Amino acid sequence: MKKTFLGFVLILIASRGISQQAPVFSVEQLLEDHKILVTALRELHPGIYRYQSKSEFDRQEQQLRMAINTPMTEEQYYKLVMPFIAQLKCGHTKWHRKDRPDDRFPFRQDELVPLKLFFKDNRAWVLRNYAVADTLAAGLEITHINGQKIDGIIAQLRGFITMDGNVQSALYQELNQSFNGYYASFIGTTPAYTFHYKAGKQEKRSTLPAVSLDIIKQKDVAGQNPVRPAFELSMPKASVAVLRIGRFYTNPGETDYYRFIDSAFQQINAAGAGNLVIDLRGNEGGVEEYGGYLFSWLAAKPFTYYNRILVASNKESSVKKYGWFPPGMDQAYGLIKEKNGEYYWPMQEYLAQKDPKANAFAGKVFILTDGFSFSVTSEFASAVKTAGRAVFIGEETGGAYGGDNSGVFASITLPNTKLTTGIPLMAFYMNPQGPNPADRGILADKVVSPAISDVLQKRDVVMERALELAGKSLK
């Protein structure tokens, strides 16, 4: 059941287990931080009203402000604010401890849940047992943790996870990657955990000691797959090419992206491949132009990639002294165009109409996506979906069909608690068409989601299905 924002506030105020030795901030200090946080969002974030009305935002802000009626630690205030940030429905907006933007264990690194779980369809299975007492084997379904049902745990944590729009797939990807951290941060920690699990037709119970983050990292590293190059081209079948794009950016010393893409399509065309599988699973984005450039190799006619790019204002923020802003921000204000009360950013080459590549790929395209196909990756997938240029296989993308808030970012550190919000400064709007809702991810035409047995056997059922469909299209 969906919980209201106020319900989360009440849960947080009653939350147990906060360290009593942590510094405690007065109501006055917390209200000062709150005012700066909300001002920063209103003045800088171009998408706070993208999925909610101004009145809804104002109502939630008022509820949050009223809940600041007692002194709190940094951790308590962090937990209090997190549902408010999540309600923005912007996967790019961050709320974190100072200088720790991607830390999923911000306050608790001990007494953690001793299992790595795989989540799907409101259920959870054991992937790895971190505890010394290895009594729960991989593949067993967990039904309860410390007496709470799995579906209830998922519903509770959902309110603390930032996701674009009403995308569903990103929730499970986040839980699969970082459940232990989310559970510790927003439900709590204990010296031991009791699990109910299914054993055939019976339900049994087992209690395991908690583990530390160090143990989790050690065992996760030991179980990791070898690191693959970011960009790969292969020809697994006659007339079928597979192009894997692991991310839309390059690190120093890596193959130049544009050179790789040009070379890949030259090889694909030279081989006469009539089917192309583009694997974008796990690709969380990167450089906007990389997505547009890839699309130019697939487009069948001239195209407009972005519909528009908005910013919140053409004026300097009143909370500038609390933050870090991109270099050249002062000069950028002069380039912003105002029209009908909105502020447009014009300096992006893929706002203009573009021509496809002269020798663009004209064959059948299959695109593989999952809940981590986010940001630039979802923008690219959106353009492909609008053009009707591919069959999508796998799961809904993690980014919304209509676009996202991203680009460049400001980072505002609150003066008292030192908690920090990362705010995207640009709202990218795509050209969504057809029945796929703009607030959802790009939905798969062929839904293929691995089961726990596939994950444990390291069987890639999504790729298998893509190659099967590509093979059939040759006949």
* pLDDT tens figures, 41-63: 999 999 999 999 999 999 999 99
Query: Please, which residues have CB within 8 angstroms of residue 192's CB and are 6 or more apart in sequence?
Result: 207, 208, 209, 210
Both tokens of residue 228?
Answer: 């693959």
Q: Please state, in angstroms and rounded to a whole number, the distance separating the CA atoms of residues 185 and 11.
A: 13
For 295-312, the pLDDT digits (tens) are 999 999 999 999 999 999
Both tokens of residue 201?
Answer: 């037709």
Q: Phi and psi (nearest 5°) for 117?
A: -110, 155
Q: Phi and psi (nearest 5°) for 434?
A: 85, -170
> Can you tell me which residue has the tokens 């991310």?
247
Task: List C-alpha distances in Å: 468 to 233, 275, 444, 475.
Answer: 18, 11, 16, 11
Q: Please state, in angstroms and rounded to a whole number, the distance separating the CA atoms of residues 290 and 257.
A: 8
Maximum pairwise Cα distance, the chain: 72
Q: Please state, in angstroms and rounded to a whole number, the distance separating the CA atoms of residues 278 and 223.
A: 26
Q: Helices (H) and strands (E) in the chain — how many of each? A: 13, 21
pLDDT at 5 over 70: no
Q: What is the DSSP-derived secondary structure letter of residue 357? A: P
For 134-153, the pLDDT digits (tens) are 689 999 999 999 999 999 99
Q: What pLDDT is recorded for position 366?
A: 98
Q: What pLDDT is recorded for position 20?
A: 52
* Nearest in space to 284 (alpha carbons), one of 245, 255, 338: 245
Residue type at 343 in one-letter notation: Y
Task: List C-alpha distances in Å: 114 to 123, 129, 179, 395.
Answer: 17, 6, 11, 28
Per-residue confidence at 4, pLDDT binned at 50, 70, 90?
A: very low
Task: List C-alpha distances in Å: 431 to 14, 414, 448.
Answer: 44, 37, 26
Answer yes or no: are the C-beta atoms of 288 and 428 closer than 8 Å.
yes
First to last CA, the chain: 47
The H or E element that residue 394 is part of is strand 391-394
Query: Please, which residues have CB within 8 angstroms of residue 71's CB and are 6 or more apart in sequence?
Result: 24, 25, 26, 27, 30
Query: Could you tell me the domains of the chain?
Result: 5-88 (no CATH), 115-222 (2.30.42.10), 231-473 (3.90.226.10)
Question: Strand 364-369 relative to strand 391-394: parallel, antiparallel, unpaired?
Answer: parallel
For 405-446, the pLDDT digits (tens) are 999 999 999 999 999 999 999 999 999 999 999 999 999 999
Beta-bridged to residue 446, according to DSSP, are 393
Q: What pLDDT is recorded for position 200?
A: 87
Both tokens of residue 82?
Answer: 């997190």
Both tokens of residue 458?
Answer: 């390291």
Residue type at 121 in one-letter notation: D
* Nearest in space to 244 (alpha carbons), one of 415, 466, 46: 466
Q: Please state, in angstroms and rounded to a whole number, the distance separating the CA atoms of residues 452 and 124.
A: 9
Mean pLDDT of the chain: 94
Which of the pair, 133 or 96, is modelled with greater confidence?
Answer: 96
Q: Please state, in angstroms and rounded to a whole number, the distance separating the CA atoms of residues 53 and 37.
A: 19
DSSP string of 74-86, one letter each residue: HHHHHHHHHHHHH
Both tokens of residue 313?
Answer: 């204002």
The H or E element that residue 142 is part of is strand 141-145
| Residues 388-404, mean pLDDT to the nearest whole number | 98
pLDDT at 374 over 50: yes
Residues in the chain: 475
Task: List C-alpha distances in Å: 75 to 18, 187, 210, 213.
Answer: 7, 12, 21, 18
Per-residue confidence at 473, pLDDT binned at 50, 70, 90?
A: low
* Nearest in space to 442 (alpha carbons), one of 207, 225, 168, 245: 168
Q: What pLDDT is recorded for position 8?
A: 39
Percent of the chain clearing pLDDT 90 (strictly above): 91
Per-residue confidence at 231, pLDDT binned at 50, 70, 90?
A: very high
- Burial annotation 421-436 (CB, 10 A radius, 16+ → b, else e): bbbbbbbbbbbbeeeb
* Nearest in space to 367 (alpha carbons), one of 352, 387, 389, 336: 389
Rg over alpha carbons for the chain, rounded to the nearest Å, is 23
Q: What is the DSSP-derived secondary structure letter of residue 229? A: P
The H or E element that residue 411 is part of is strand 403-413
Q: What pLDDT is recorded for position 1?
A: 37
